[in-house]
Amino acid sequence: MKKELLIASALVSTLGAASVANAVTATTSGSHHTGLRGTNVDSGSTDTIAQVVASSFSVSLSETTDGGVGIASSFMLANESTTGTQSAGLTLTFTDGSKLDVINAGNAAATHDVSVPGGAGEASITVTTNNNAQTGLDFFATGTAIGVEWHSAADFMADGLKISASMSVDDGVAADASAAVESAWGLGATYVTSAGDTAVTIGAGLADSDWKDTGSAPTANNGFHVGFSAVTGNLTVAAGYANGDKVLEDATNAEEEIVDNSVTKVGLKYVSGDVTLSVGYSSGAGKDSATLGTAGTKEDAIDTTDAGISYAVASGVTANLGWKNVDSQEAGAAETSGGTSWYIGANMAF
């Protein structure tokens, strides 16, 4: 017994010493923002003002092998007012500058959507859940946790070009009442160039996926997006367009599907010293159907106009003033769930 205790003690001491001597590099980051949000919905209900508070705290881990290959991952300790904590897979960075994400890698089409300026802060209007119009440029890009995504190094085959490719496979979980992704692939590219004094970025992506449920398998979820951003001095102009199908992951409407869905976004941003002015507009429309594989006849739509002012008060501290207007249409009829919202608050990041 004494011998076993000595061996166990030596093993623990060795592991402890090794963990200290060979620890990976850990860095932390996060943010905390708080403010007031006012809403005025089209239904005519009483205007409301409420406090908005959200915080996040994440840890990034990284190390480099003797051969020069970087290994990195991350996890969140807190992520309030969102879907909860999140953990990344592994990212391998090679000596030629290329990267490989493994485990919960994502979809390459989503990696290359162009960022379009909009409002500031947390102005928000929630539309009815029956409205299935999409609002993001990468609504069709999905996948399972059993997947990989490869990213090229900069200047791949041409100056300013980067590309990505991803693939994910069935995780083996039995189909239930909810529609679920069975397999998916994606391709994406970003090209950066200049035209005189203007820096131009062009992004595009394409994706496709297969789905399953306890009924007949839903048709494929697929689509594409393309966008550009032009920066001249302190002014940024950007626009994006996406089109495709979206299978709903809803237990109640497991086989419902959005077809011929499109999203258009445009935005402007101007930076003057510590002040940033931004304005944006987006329009999403799609026809949903409760019959699998059959296009709907009535259109859902969400049109959003937003604007914002951000002021850099100090290092890591930003004051935000935002405004948003949402027009909502469900099954071809005007809704009362749209309206306007304003926000005033501060964001602290580290």
Whole-structure pTM value: 0.82
User: Could you tell me the sign of the dihedral formed by the alpha carbons of 77, 134, 221, 240, in that order?
Assistant: negative
Residue 64, classed as helix, strand or coil, is strand
pLDDT for residue 6: 38
pLDDT for residue 10: 39
User: Could you tell me the sign of the dihedral formed by the alpha carbons of 267, 299, 112, 121, in that order?
Assistant: positive
Instruction: Write out the E strands in the chain.
Output: 25-41, 48-64, 70-79, 90-93, 99-102, 147-151, 161-168, 180-195, 198-212, 221-232, 235-247, 257-272, 275-289, 299-314, 317-330, 333-334, 339-349
CB count in 10 Å sphere of residue 289: 17
**Tens-binned pLDDT, residue by residue, of the chain (350 aa):** 444 343 344 333 434 433 444 688 999 999 998 999 999 888 777 789 999 888 889 999 999 999 999 999 998 886 665 555 567 788 999 999 999 999 888 899 999 999 999 988 888 888 777 788 888 999 989 888 889 999 999 999 999 999 999 999 888 777 666 677 888 999 999 999 998 999 999 999 999 998 877 666 566 678 999 999 999 999 999 999 999 988 776 555 555 667 788 999 999 999 999 999 999 999 999 887 766 556 667 788 899 999 999 999 999 999 999 999 998 888 777 777 788 999 999 999 99
Domain definitions of the chain by residue range: 103-349
Supply the CATH classification number for the domain 103-349. 2.40.160.10
Residue 21, classed as helix, strand or coil, is helix
Burial of 288 per CB tally in 10 Å (0-12, 13-18, 19+): buried
DSSP, residue by residue, 172-219: -PPP-SS-EEEEEEEEEEEEEEEETTEEEEEEEEEEEEEEE-SSSPPP
Residue 296, classed as helix, strand or coil, is coil
pLDDT for residue 334: 73
Helix (H) or strand (E) holding 251: none
Tokens of 172: 């083996």
pLDDT for residue 329: 86
Tokens of 97: 């500058």
